[in-house]
């Protein structure tokens, strides 16, 4: 089974990134061949400063390696190091109706938020389809808001195959319903757009400060509290084992602690959970040549996979 996932270099990672995508990606390394890339071409739709994009791309590589991407189990590379994806995107654009792109939810949502309606943003799903289809991806883990992009990739692949034969694999999306939406400080989806995130690699003091901002109700300290609807509890359950969750539920019902106690407890839980990842990150920060070697090797593997398929594709389109 060939599994593909790409994540944009978006600066500081938060726990929504981790539980919504990265942890699943790491776990999938034991279930099949994982192709994982840093989507820096896609990031250009929102990051226009070249030096900043380069810095964010390297930071993303370090963070993903620190959080469990294993270059011995996965093919891990930077998107722009495999140039064939752009050539393939041009081929696929010949099979992409304008109406299909006009219906893309992501495009309409971003334009509504004030992002310039340029061709890069409009053609984003075609490049995403090229990422997926170039490598014969069978499974693409996504959040619910990305399902339409996989459906668009399938539509384009069907049109290409109808013209040139069964060359492209039709991908399937995979959504983990348990962690499809990670709540932020205010209970809405954790997102930098909403400024409601808890960063993974912040200082302990900054982490505690963020946790203290989590929105809770006004139940007095001496009264029992409802944990099911509590933003603090719903974040804590991402990290805790079943017996630890039951113990926390008892604390909520006891009427002996206030939300301030639970917020500090959550900060400790998060800090301890990511301790080994912080240690790995320090290693990669101190040894940038190791990161460069991993990305170079991953790009070579990805180019080999791309070359194999592109040879056939270039032949059938007449190049």
Please report, for residues 18, 46, 128, 229, the alpha-carbon distance to residue 191 in angstroms, rounded to integers and kept in the order given. Answer: 12, 15, 21, 20
Residue entry with tokens 């990150």:
281
Q: Exposure pattern of 56-84 as b/e (b: 16+ CB <10 Å)?
A: bbbbbbbbbbbbbbebebbbbbbbbbbeb
Please identify which of the residues 73, 159, 174, 189 carries the catalytic annotation.
189
Please identify which of the residues 73, 174, 192, 301 carries the catalytic annotation.
192
Instruction: Assess whether 192 carries a catalytic annotation.
Output: yes
- Taken in order 43, 46, 47, 49, the sign of the CA dihedral is positive
- Residue 35 — φ and ψ, nearest 5°? -110, 115
Instruction: Assess whether 110 carries a catalytic annotation.
Output: yes
* Residue 212 burial (10 A CB sphere; 0-12, 13-18, 19+): middle
Quote the tokens at residue 132. 């997926």
Compute how many other C-beta atoms are within 10 angstroms of the C-beta atom of residue 301. Answer: 17
Instruction: Assess whether 189 carries a catalytic annotation.
Output: yes
Please identify which of the residues 23, 73, 110, 297 carries the catalytic annotation.
110
Catalytic residues: 110, 189, 192
């Amino acid at each position: 089974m060939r599994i593909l996932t790409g994540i944009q270099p978006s600066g500081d990672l938060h726990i929504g990134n981790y539980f919504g995508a990265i942890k699943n990606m790491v776990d999938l390394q034991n279930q099949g061949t994982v192709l994982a890339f840093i989507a820096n071409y896609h990031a250009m739709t929102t990051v226009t400063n070249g030096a900043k994009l380069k810095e964010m791309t390297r930071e993303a590589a370090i963070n993903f390696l620190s959080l469990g991407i294993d270059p011995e189990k996965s093919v891990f590379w930077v998107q722009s190091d495999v140039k064939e994806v752009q050539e393939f995107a041009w081929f696929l654009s010949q099979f992409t109706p304008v109406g299909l792109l006009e219906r893309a939810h992501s495009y309409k949502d971003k334009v509504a938020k004030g992002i310039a309606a340029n061709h890069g943003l409009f053609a984003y799903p075609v490049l995403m389809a090229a990422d997926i289809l170039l490598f014969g991806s069978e499974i693409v883990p996504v959040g619910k808001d990305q399902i339409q992009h996989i459906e668009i990739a399938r539509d384009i692949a069907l049109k290409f195959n109808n013209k040139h034969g069964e060359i492209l694999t039709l991908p399937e999306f995979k959504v983990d319903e348990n962690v499809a939406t990670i709540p932020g400080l205010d209970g809405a989806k954790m997102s930098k757009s909403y400024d409601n995130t808890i960063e993974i690699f912040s200082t302990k003091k900054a982490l505690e400060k963020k946790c203290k901002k989590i929105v809770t109700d006004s139940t007095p300290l001496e009264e029992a509290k409802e944990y099911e609807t509590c933003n603090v509890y719903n974040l804590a359950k991402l990290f805790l084992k079943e017996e630890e969750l039951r113990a926390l539920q008892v604390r909520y019902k006891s009427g002996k602690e206030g939300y301030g106690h639970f917020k500090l407890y959550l900060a400790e839980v998060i800090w301890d959970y990511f301790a080994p990842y912080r240690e790995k990150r320090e290693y990669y920060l101190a040894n940038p040549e190791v990161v460069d070697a991993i990305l170079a090797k991953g790009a070579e593997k990805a180019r080999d996979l791309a070359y194999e398929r592109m040879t056939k594709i270039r032949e059938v389109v007449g190049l």
